[in-house]
């Protein structure tokens, strides 16, 4: 695929795909990022990508999968936040004074900054980038077990720093 064909495809489908992403109740910014990611992926894989059938169907499926991936990542973040909120309710320090969501995020951020380099890298890839253990292991050329150990260590450290150690 050459640049001219790519630009033609982009001009023809970008707005349509944006509306499609928005129909899943993603925000405007998130929907724009999803569509941009799909086109970026199309461009990066242009030399080895073979689209069977209609390019429009391919793009719609790609957007749909990116939307699902977006919601999966968001739900992971929300689960951690919910878990921390529940634990915070049980802890005397947090029940005596209300700690806002932003303050908890800052506390988590400070704890993450103090993690050992490799541990922090794996935690960020898992929690912020939404990668699963297999993907992280592949990117870092380490075993999935090592990834699990680093994540366990990171979560234990964060809980400890927040006074939520089990």
What separation in angstroms does the CA of 107 have from each of 60, 91, 94, 99, 162?
40, 15, 13, 10, 7
Q: Which residue has the tokens 């086109």?
A: 39
> pLDDT 10s per residue in the chain (166 long)?
788 988 999 999 999 999 999 988 878 898 999 999 999 999 988 888 777 778 899 899 999 999 888 888 877 777 777 776 666 655 555 445 555 677 778 888 888 899 999 999 999 999 888 999 999 999 999 999 999 999 999 888 888 887 776 5
Whats the size of the chain, residue-wise? Answer: 166
Q: What is the pLDDT of residue 36?
A: 95
Cα 67 to Cα 26: distance, rounded to the nearest angstrom: 8
Cα 126 to Cα 83: distance, rounded to the nearest angstrom: 16
């Amino acid at each position: 695929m050459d640049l001219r064909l790519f630009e033609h495809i982009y001009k023809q489908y970008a707005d349509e795909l944006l509306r499609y992403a928005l129909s899943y109740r993603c925000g405007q910014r998130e929907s724009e990022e999803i569509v941009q990611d799909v086109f970026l992926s199309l461009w990066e894989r242009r030399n080895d990508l073979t689209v069977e059938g209609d390019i429009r169907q391919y793009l719609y499926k790609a957007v749909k999968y990116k939307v699902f991936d977006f919601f999966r990542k968001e739900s992971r973040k929300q689960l951690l936040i919910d878990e921390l909120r529940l634990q915070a309710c049980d802890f005397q320090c947090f029940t005596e004074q209300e700690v806002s969501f932003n303050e908890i995020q800052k506390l988590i951020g400070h704890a993450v900054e103090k993690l050992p380099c490799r541990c922090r890298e794996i935690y960020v890839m898992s929690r912020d980038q939404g990668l699963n253990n297999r993907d992280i292991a592949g990117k870092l050329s380490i075993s999935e077990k090592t990834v699990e150990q680093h994540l366990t260590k990171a979560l234990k450290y964060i809980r400890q720093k927040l006074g939520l150690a089990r």
